[in-house]
Amino acid sequence: MKAIVQPRFGSPDVLHFTDVDQPAIGPDEVLVRVHAAALNPYDWHIMRGDPYVARLMGTVGLTRPKPRVAGVDGAGTVQAVGANVRGLRPGDEVLGRFEGAFAEYARADANLVVPKPARLTFEQAAGVTMAGQTALRAIRDAGRVQAGQRVLVNGAAGGVGSFAVQIAVALGAEVTGVCSTGSVDLVRSIGAAHVVDYTKDDFTDGRLRYDVIQDNVGNQPLTRLRRALTPTGTLVINAGGPPSGHVFGPIGGILRVLVVNAVVRQRLRPLRDKWTREHLLAVVELVEAGQVTPVVGRTFPLADTAAGLRYLEQGHARGKVVVTVT
């Protein structure tokens, strides 16, 4: 099969589009024919081995990327199931976490894939797993958003942000999205009651305060983000977002948030990566109810995955960036 292989750490130039064997599956896994796979900041952290401390912790691999075939987030059709798998069979359309999603076929833990909503294309479905779960945990769990609250999403046009806006709206919040001029109409179209164009206005100037702020960008100091919160408001920071240092990455910022959180009335919450079937099913339920629709900004063919990652690393992607697999 064709796949994107990452033999060493480095820029997107290290990725190879080549032939490899189809993956073998274990008794609790399924083999999926991949139709589309999403690109995430997680993928270029793995590709670059960044931050370096993650190599020592065994998270991304020590001297080269732990997964040989890149990609973790996809949608496709089940081709085969392991001996212990129940509830899935060949021909089922699914989305979820795939091991080696940038390929024609990938294996997956059966517990981390769920049926694809019929209303979604494979390209839309591919972007649900990581971004949707991250947004749900940020808004519903860490943010504890309630109906009637004022919620601000910084980076509202991006992959996680576009989910966060819709989930907050579904929970009954009055949502303000922060984005660039070119994304204002998009952010309004997904339900934001107000939009701040960061090239013209500064949401941290203290004129307006919010019950919950969900930050995906990391372009504002903690002191300014707190200025935009109510005295007992909640700040949720997506720790898996933009790069913040090649050695320790977001760890230093997370520690600072935790220290400040201990001495202020406001709730400051860093959000870490986490995959659960329960969160994925909850996002899919919102999708099936028509309350959330994945936003796909750009697509790239599998052979051009490296170009897609270069585009994503620039930090201005709208919605999800998706690789299509034929």
Distance CA 36, CA 33 (A): 9
Question: Which CATH architecture is the domain 131-271 placed in?
Answer: 3-Layer(aba) Sandwich (3.40)
Closest among 81, 67, 72, 80 to 20, alpha carbons compared: 67
φ, ψ for residue 120 (rounded to 5)? -100, 145
pLDDT value at position 218? Answer: 85
278 three-class SS: helix
Rg for the chain, CA atoms, rounded: 19
Q: Residue ranges of the alpha helices (H) in the chain?
A: 41-48, 52-56, 122-126, 129-136, 159-170, 184-189, 222-227, 251-261, 277-288, 305-313
Please say if the pLDDT value at position 292 is more than 50.
yes
Q: What is the pLDDT of residues 196-241, one digit of tens each?
A: 999 999 999 989 999 999 999 988 999 999 999 999 999 999 865 5
pLDDT value at position 67? Answer: 77
Looking at per-residue pLDDT, the higher value among 313 and 325 belongs to 325
Closest among 49, 56, 41, 58 to 9, alpha carbons compared: 49
Q: Residue ranges of the alpha helices (H) in 49-104?
A: 52-56
Q: Do residues 22 and 106 touch, judged by C-beta distance below 8 A?
A: no
Among 27-31, 103-107, 145-149, 267-271, which stretch is predicted with the lowest mean pLDDT?
267-271
Distance CA 11, CA 59 (A): 18
Q: What is the pLDDT of residues 56-90, one digit of tens each?
A: 545 555 566 667 898 999 999 999 999 999 999 99
pLDDT value at position 44? Answer: 74
* Token couple for 120: 């979604």
pLDDT bracket for residue 247 (50, 70, 90): very low
pLDDT bracket for residue 194 (50, 70, 90): very high
Q: Do residues 119 and 284 touch, judged by C-beta distance below 8 A?
A: no
Closest among 237, 151, 236, 143 to 187, alpha carbons compared: 151
pLDDT value at position 259? Answer: 74
Give me the chain's average pLDDT, please: 90
Class of domain 2-128+294-324: alpha beta
pLDDT bracket for residue 251 (50, 70, 90): low
pLDDT value at position 253? Answer: 64
The CA dihedral of 160, 165, 166, 172, to the nearest 10 degrees, is 140
pLDDT value at position 261? Answer: 62
Looking at per-residue pLDDT, the higher value among 49 and 115 belongs to 115
pLDDT value at position 41? Answer: 87
pLDDT bracket for residue 250 (50, 70, 90): low
Is there a shared CATH topology between the 2-128+294-324 domain and the 131-271 domain?
Answer: no
Give the residue extent of every domain in the chain.
2-128+294-324, 131-271
Q: What is the pLDDT of residues 59-68, one digit of tens each?
A: 555 566 667 8
Please state the pTM of the whole predicted model.
Answer: 0.90
